[in-house]
Structure 1
Amino acid sequence: MIAFTPAAFFAGYATSLSLIMAIGAQNAFVLRQGIRQSHVLPIVLLCAGSDAILILTGVFAFAQIERVLPNVLPLVKYGGAAFLFVYGAMAFRAAWRGGEALDPATAPKQSLQRTVIALLMLTWLNPHVYLDTVVLLGSISAQYDVGRYGFALGATLASFSFFFALGYGARFLAPLFAKPSSWRFLECFVGATMWTIALTLLLGS
């Protein structure tokens, strides 16, 4: 029986939004691309779409996923940590080189294919994504029984609204990033974020 309850919807929206808003590898990537105004629509759709898949998986298949995760999670954890270390090192290298400033009219843009590949790796190789969407949201949704449909809808809409706001709102920071020093700071921030998440994964094992 399908039932839509406002309480479950708003619980899903609020819970999902609180998890997504935490600074992470994916958010840092979207922020940087939004400031560059580079491939923003595909990026936000890919992020929100990936979240929707994981949220629906967690809400409607949590019991089965819970039995599989103990065998799958270690592999995803170490692979994701290695990728985040490499990506963080690339960000620190860019900060060390410096000299970058934003001029939307002349700034070179990374190809859509390379951008999508990088984002897919940041999203699907990050165990925190699975823990937040599949495990945590899945377990919380279980208490709403038939209201899980409303919970899933609220959680999914929270993801779409957040990533669209982040991707398109970042352009207002463009004047600030006309200064090379601002890009150095952003690259250091991105690198520190990636390495912090990677260390958290490894030390939490």
Structure 2
Amino acid sequence: MTADFPSFLSGAGLGASLIVAIGAQNAFVLRQGLKRRHVGIVVSICAFIDVMLIALGVGGMGALIARAPVLLDVIRWAGAAFVFLYGLRAFLAAWRGPGHLNASDGDSQTALGAASTVLALSLLNPHVYLDTVVLLGGIGAQHGWPGNAWFAAGAMCSSIVWFTALGYGARLLEPWFEKDAAWRVLDVIVGCVMWWIAATLVFAR
């Protein structure tokens, strides 16, 4: 297969612009990275989901998703409820105080709990399907073969690089989170992001 770097760069650029946007998934990855809790699992799940959805979109699944408004509505309401509750949890954590960042941190979340949370945050958001499957898939399909495959590869690479950098690079911010106040601010920001996302899902047309 002949290399098609313009298509690869196009996919990488569009993929990055969609993935880097602040959202529930990114906020969770950042928090897990700061606490160094199950980072590998969380990053792997996020990247794997994006890769699969991009592949499905470029492969033609985007058109089917766009024609299933009932399915998207079910996902929208379930996602709004979950994100609202997660935001409430973040506000409660900010009110109670999460404690200093150290190995004895009281975060008792298990690997299964982290995996379940990131799966829900990733899959119960209809924007994920609209962005990665419908939008990326639709644009990627316009490149034809093998350009569409290179476009998809570029978008996939952006996702993998972003989540890896966010999860493992978060530790560089540790000096800022030596005090409880910084964790409270982060939890308030996460709570606001979650509730904003929930509101956009509820009032989406």
Shared topology, TM-score over 0.5?
yes
1:127 aligns with 2:126: yes
CA distance in 2, matches of 1:3, 1:82: 46
- The Cα offsets for residues 70-104 of structure 1, whole Å up to 9 and x where unpaired, read as 2311111111011111110110011111252211x
- Deviation of 1:142 after TM superposition, in Å, equals 2.0
**8 Å Cα contact 1:76/1:127 also seen in 2:** yes
Q: Would you identify which runs of 4 or more consecutive aligned residues in structure 1 move more than 4 Å?
A: none
CA gap of 1:99–1:66, structure 2 versus 1, over 3 A, is closer
Match of 1:180 in 2: 180
- Deviation of 1:162 after TM superposition, in Å, equals 0.3
1:108 aligns with 2:106: yes
**8 Å Cα contact 2:99/2:105 also seen in 1:** no
- Deviation of 1:176 after TM superposition, in Å, equals 1.4
TM-score when normalising by structure 1:
0.94
In structure 1, runs of 5+ residues without a counterpart are none
Farther off after superposition, 71-80 or 20-29: 71-80
Match of 2:55 in 1: 56
Work out the number of aligned pairs and report it: 202
CA gap of 1:57–1:95, structure 2 versus 1, over 3 A, is same
- Deviation of 1:145 after TM superposition, in Å, equals 1.2
The amino acid across from 2:185 in the alignment is F
Superposed CA RMSD: 1.3
In structure 2, runs of 5+ residues without a counterpart are none
1:199 aligns with 2:193: no
- Deviation of 1:3 after TM superposition, in Å, equals 5.2
TM-score when normalising by structure 2:
0.94
CA distance in 2, matches of 1:96, 1:71: 38
Identity %: 49
- Deviation of 1:144 after TM superposition, in Å, equals 0.4
CA distance in 2, matches of 1:36, 1:172: 11
1:33-182 matches, within 5 Å, as 33-61=32-60, 62-67=62-67, 69-98=68-97, 100-103=99-102, 105-109=103-107, 110-146=109-145, 147-182=147-182
**8 Å Cα contact 2:63/2:134 also seen in 1:** no
CA distance in 2, matches of 1:73, 1:16: 21
CA gap of 1:204–1:112, structure 2 versus 1, over 3 A, is same
Farther off after superposition, 152-161 or 54-63: 54-63
- Deviation of 1:63 after TM superposition, in Å, equals 2.8
**8 Å Cα contact 1:3/1:150 also seen in 2:** no
- Deviation of 1:107 after TM superposition, in Å, equals 1.6
CA gap of 1:173–1:76, structure 2 versus 1, over 3 A, is same
**8 Å Cα contact 1:92/1:187 also seen in 2:** yes
CA distance in 1, matches of 2:139, 2:45: 24
- Deviation of 1:119 after TM superposition, in Å, equals 0.7
- Deviation of 1:201 after TM superposition, in Å, equals 1.4
